[in-house]
Amino acid sequence: MPLPLSYPGLKCVLENLEAVKRAHVIARAPGLQKINKLIPLCLENFFIDYNELSINTLSIICYTEKVKYLMNGKTLSRQISESEEEKMKKLIKYYICGRSIIHVDSLDWCDSFQPNVNGVNLKFRVNSLKALFPKDFETAIPLIDPRSFPLKTLTTFPNTSTFDNHVVKLAETLKLNLMIDQIVPVEDLKKLNNQTVVFDGYNPSSIDIISLIKYHVETKQDIRTTFVILLYTKNLLGEMLREFESAFDEFQCDLDGVNDRFVKYKKVKPIISFQIYSRIFRIQVYAIEVPEKYCPYKIIVKPVSRL
């Protein structure tokens, strides 16, 4: 008869067990329930909204008269006569409360309306955070372990406070989702020192990237951020390329330094490219088409040091 696992061995198994499977195992083992919350929980994805909780591939949605579970294309509903708020409180208590640490690769926080989360005594260790609205951002940041910073990826809406926030400035990749008709002026762009900044919006012309390039060329200041502008249609791509061509016509040339092997490997189709030179650096600007349904076109503005 095999010997039972020691506590260190059991801890290692549970910590690395997929979270949904772990919940099933714990629910059927009263002995494990006593130590479950002492062992860190590892999640690939965690999403929270005022009436929804998603853990990896499991989504739990609370309605007025029922709770719906969705996983791998299957749906299960349970009739529960409690308010949505009470249902969410119980879910949060079961999955979150009482844990010292939760490791999350991607945390998606949309919980402005959940009143009882702020007092939860826990810390998320995260790689990526998505908190679009200021209230979500303010709620999520105190719940993140300081060792998570700088974040690998941060996704949010730009606003007056975004560009001055140290969490935003330190993120390796910053993704800014633009609202319709939202303008990103050059003065805000100057504040960004992230390795990569990605703009996702319906009106790419609202991003004053051309003025930013002109500013760096004229002032001879080094620029270290790569800007990526996601585009939904070829018409938007053409519109923005015409703006670049009009502003930097004298700089157009073949783009040296683009790795053809990388382009072929990624199945990326180069559309147009040129370089803008200053005394200490050059800026590569090129458009690519990628095999994606969502935003198949991208404009890349990439600084390269001149050696």
Residue 289 in domain: yes
**168 and 23 in a common domain:** no
pLDDT level of residue 5 (50, 70, 90 thresholds)? confident
**Separation between Cα atoms, residue 57 and residue 132, nearest integer Å:** 22
Q: Determine the pLDDT at residue 204.
A: 74
Q: Determine the pLDDT at residue 262.
A: 42
Token look-up 């309306």 returns 113
Q: Determine the pLDDT at residue 265.
A: 41
Residue closest to 220 by CA, chosen among 284, 277, 275: 277
**16 and 162 in a common domain:** no
Residue 141 in domain: no
Structure tokens at 16: 């690395």
Residue 161 in domain: yes
Q: Determine the pLDDT at residue 238.
A: 82
Residue 120 in domain: no
Q: Determine the pLDDT at residue 90.
A: 85
Look at 113-127, 149-163, 290-304 and tell me which has the smallest mean pLDDT. 113-127
Residue 26 has pLDDT above 70, yes or no: yes
Counting other chains too, the contacts that 280-285 makes at CB distance below 8 Å and 24 or more residues apart are 280/220, 280/222, 280/305, 280/306, 281/216, 281/222, 281/223, 281/305, 281/306, 282/306, 283/213, 283/216, 283/217, 283/223, 284/255, 284/257, 284/258, 285/213, 285/244, 285/248
Neighbours of 116 (CB within 10 A): 12
Range of the domain at 273: 155-307
**160 and 291 in a common domain:** yes
Residue 135 in domain: no
| Share above pLDDT 70 across residues of the chain, in percent, rounded to a whole number | 84
Buried-state track 18-53, b at ≥16 Cβ within 10 A, e below 16: ebeebbeebeeeeeeeeebbebebbbebbbbbebbb
Out of 5-9, 44-48, 180-184, 291-295, the most confident range is 44-48
**178 and 32 in a common domain:** no
Residue 93 in domain: no
How many structural domains does the chain have?
Answer: 2
Task: Give 283 or 268, the one with higher predicted confidence.
Answer: 283
Residue 139 in domain: no
Is the link from the previous residue into 185 a cis peptide, with omega within 30 of 0? no
pTM of the model: 0.85
Taking only the tens place, the pLDDT of each residue in 249-260 is: 655 555 555 545
Q: Determine the pLDDT at residue 255.
A: 52
Residue 119 in domain: no
**Separation between Cα atoms, residue 40 and residue 302, nearest integer Å:** 40
**304 and 162 in a common domain:** yes
Q: Determine the pLDDT at residue 251.
A: 58
Residue 94 has pLDDT above 90, yes or no: no
Task: Give 291 or 229, the one with higher predicted confidence.
Answer: 229
pLDDT level of residue 197 (50, 70, 90 thresholds)? very high
Structure tokens at 148: 């998570």
Q: Determine the pLDDT at residue 228.
A: 93
Residue 274 has pLDDT above 80, yes or no: no
